[in-house]
């Protein structure tokens, strides 16, 4: 897999003197579904904005397909990379769903027939095909989030940077959002980087994880590699997924012979059946 985004950043300080990021080294490979996991204020949004070229003035280098983002024209960044804000009301502005989704392709100079084709395809990708004529202000929060993603897909973005895509959604909405992102990743080959603190969803869906704490990367790897030491996670104000926490307690407090700490219900079931057979 080739690297699409690489970050080698010594530090970034906001104008008021807050050092929001330091010593960040990571690579996002083509086709990966990557998570940036961290507690409130750990620097996730800042890191996404650095990757999208919205934040400049840092010490270090960020490359997009090998080109320094600070030397690229914004148009060349936005052709490939789209950032979905945490709050959809910061992103949506047109009167209805069709018009909002059409804004990007029209701005790119697409002919009206092509705009229609892209909008219909994008809305269908996010299960909002029936909502083209609906007023933005009449959508539910979760529907607004989907329309934000459609707007970027309609521009043909190959890389989506998602800031807390599940924040504010009910449990089923969270799950459906993760399924949508998984589908875009698997079926349409969209590379996704998602900022989150939803530890329970992460191991079910993500390939790679980077843990941020106070602006620094403290751990990285697959969910299995990252979710091993509850104490370390507690130090960065995170925890194991609930199911892993339960098995960890049974193993350590009750001395049950679990070989490993499972991260999903399916894995836990296998471990329990095996442990009971011993
Ligand atoms: N415009 C700004 N000016 C000054 N400091 C800022 C600005 N934006 C963010 N910060 C600070 O930078 C740090 C990282 O903020 P950031 O929003 O990147 O964190 P986050 O991990 O996305 O948080 P959350 O999970 O709460 O959304 C915080 O200490 C925050 O107060």
232 alpha carbon – ligand 1 mean position (Å) = 22
**Distance, CA 45 to ligand 1 centroid (Å)?**
7
pLDDT tens by residue, 33-60: 999 999 999 999 999 999 999 999 999 9
What is the atom index within ligand 1 of the atom nearest the CA of 42?
A: 21
How confident is residue 278, by pLDDT bands cut at 50, 70 and 90?
A: low
For residues 42 and 59, give the distance between their C-alpha atoms in angstroms, rounded to a whole number: 18
Report d(CA 268, CA 270) in Å as an integer: 5
Residue 136: count other Cβ atoms within 10 Å of its Cβ. 19
Tell me what pLDDT residue 176 has: 86
For ligand 1, atom 31, which residue shows the shortest CA distance?
41
Burial of residue 97, with CB atoms counted within 10 A of its CB: 0-12 exposed, 13-18 middle, 19 or more buried: buried
Helix (H) or strand (E) holding 35: strand 33-37
Q: Whose CA is nearest to atom 23 of ligand 1?
A: 41
- Of 14, 168, 196, 211, the one to substitute when testing ligand 1's pocket (max ligand atoms within 8 A of C-beta) is 14
pLDDT band at 144 (very low <50, low <70, confident <90, very high): very high
- pLDDT at 274 (0 to 100): 77
| Closest to 163 (Cα-Cα) out of 242, 87, 267, 252 | 87
Query: What is the mean predicted confidence (pLDDT) over 89-110?
Result: 93
Exposure letters 217-240 (e unless 16+ CB within 10 A, then b): bbbbeebeebbbebeebeebebeb
Q: pTM, whole model, 2 decimals? A: 0.90
For the domain spanning 3-228, the CATH number is: 3.40.50.300
270, two tokens? 């296998």
Beta pairing class for 159-163 and 81-84: parallel
Probe residue for ligand 1, chosen from 9, 20, 199, 217 as the CB with the greatest number of ligand atoms within 8 Å: 20
- 3-state secondary structure (DSSP) of residue 138: helix
The domains of the chain are located at 3-228, 240-277
Report the nearest atom of ligand 1 relative to the CA of 46. Answer: 18
């Amino acid at each position: 897999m080739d690297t699409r985004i690489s970050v080698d950043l010594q530090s970034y300080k906001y104008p008021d003197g807050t050092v929001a990021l330091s010593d960040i080294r990571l690579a996002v490979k083509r086709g990966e579904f990557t998570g940036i996991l961290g507690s409130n204020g750990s620097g996730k949004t800042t890191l996404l904005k650095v990757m999208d070229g919205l934040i400049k003035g840092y010490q270090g280098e960020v490359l997009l397909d090998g080109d320094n983002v600070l030397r690229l024209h914004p148009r060349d960044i936005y052709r490939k990379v789209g950032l979905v804000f945490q709050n959809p009301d910061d992103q949506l502005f047109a009167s209805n769903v069709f018009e909002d989704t059409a804004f990007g392709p029209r701005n790119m100079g697409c002919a009206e027939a092509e705009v229609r084709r892209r909008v219909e395809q994008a809305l269908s990708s996010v299960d909002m095909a029936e909502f083209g004529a609906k007023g933005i202000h009449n959508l539910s929060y979760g529907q607004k989030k989907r329309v934000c993603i459609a707007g970027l897909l309609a521009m043909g973005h190959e890389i989506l940077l998602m800031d807390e895509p599940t924040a504010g959604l009910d449990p089923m909405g969270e799950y459906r959002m993760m399924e949508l992102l998984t589908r875009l990743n698997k079926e349409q080959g969209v590379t996704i980087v998602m900022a989150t603190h939803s530890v329970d969803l992460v191991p079910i869906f993500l390939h790679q994880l980077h843990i941020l704490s106070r602006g620094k990367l403290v751990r990285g790897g697959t969910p299995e590699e990252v979710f091993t030491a509850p104490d370390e996670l507690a130090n960065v104000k995170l925890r194991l997924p609930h199911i892993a926490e339960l098995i960890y307690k049974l193993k350590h407090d009750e001395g049950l012979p679990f070989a490993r700490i499972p991260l999903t219900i399916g894995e836990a079931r296998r471990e329990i059946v095996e442990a009971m057979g011993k």
